[in-house]
Structure formats: C-alpha cells, structure tokens
Amino acid sequence: MDTFQLKIISSDRVFFDGRAKKLIIPAPDGQKGILPHHENMVIAVEIGELHLCDVEDKWITASVSKGFVEIMNNRVSVLVNTAESPEEIDVRRATEAKERAEEQLRQKQSMQEYQMSKASLARAMARLRTSKEKDWRI
C-alpha cells in the first residue's frame, strides 16, 4: 500500500498530520490530484474544497483558503490560512457572509474593494458547499 506523509497546517492549528493515499486540492487552474511518489513541486492553493483519503480509505473534506502545497520526497505540506471540516462550519454565519459579499458586489467599489468582496464571496460559498456535502464523490 503506497502512501505519503501529509501535513495540513492552517494559521491557527495543524488540521491533519499523518499518512495519506490521495489528496485533491483546489488550484488556480482546477483541481489537482496528488498520489504517492508525486513529482517534487510547489502548487498554489485557491479558496475551495480539499479532499484527502487516509490509510483507512476514509475521505476527509475541508474548506480551505489560499495558500500553497509543497511536494518533496514523498512528503506533502499544505499551508493555508484556514482549514475547516464540515462539522466546524457555522452555516448561519457563512450564509450571512455570502449575503454580505453579494450585497457589496452590487455596490460601486474601488478595484481593491471589488477583489476583496469577490474573495469573501468565494470563501463563504466554499464553506457552504463543504458544510452540505455528504459524499463529494457522488
């Protein structure tokens, strides 16, 4: 059974530290899959959902924010600002953040404010998607 060492670190804690069989991350150009003995590289992580398969074939899903992944010698390090499991997401708060961001996007804003509102909306949507999914592979 081929596995790799995986560590997912957010700004406030270590989300996961152990062996994994597969990792799927949201990247700027779509989802990227990482398997054991992957080529060494660094990949940007976008706001979205991260999926990992542990050594017991259990899939773990997390809503993540921007960051990056470093793959080196069958060790994968994921560094993101936030990583939340579906159980940790406050759906009411995420819904309110989504509505606030949508309202801000309807207002006339500077380019910087517009980009910040888009990022807020993307984070809220990712959190809501993660909180509602039962089995993302279906």
∠ Cα 99 68 34 (to 5°):
105
Whether residue 4 has pLDDT greater than 50: yes
Q: Let me know: does 11 contact 81? Beta carbons within 8 Å.
A: yes
Nearest of 4, 10, 58, 13 to residue 33 by alpha carbon: 4
Of all residues in the chain, the percent with pLDDT exceeding 90 is 57
Whether residue 133 has pLDDT greater than 70: no
Instruction: Give residue-wise pLDDT tens across range 31-69.
Output: 999 999 999 999 999 999 999 999 999 999 999 999 999
pTM for the structure as a whole: 0.77
Q: How many helices (H) and strands (E) does the chain have?
A: 2, 9
Whole-angstrom Cα distance, residue 71 to residue 43?
8
So what's the pLDDT on residue 88? 80
Q: Counting beta carbons within 10 angstroms of the beta carbon of residue 112, is it exposed (0 to 12), middle (13 to 18) or buried (19 or more)?
A: exposed
Whether residue 16 has pLDDT greater than 80: yes
User: Which residues are paired to 43 by β-bridges?
Assistant: 69
Q: Let me know: does 117 contact 42? Beta carbons within 8 Å.
A: no
Instruction: Give residue-wise pLDDT tens across range 63-119.
Output: 999 999 999 999 999 999 999 888 887 778 888 888 888 888 788 778 888 788 778
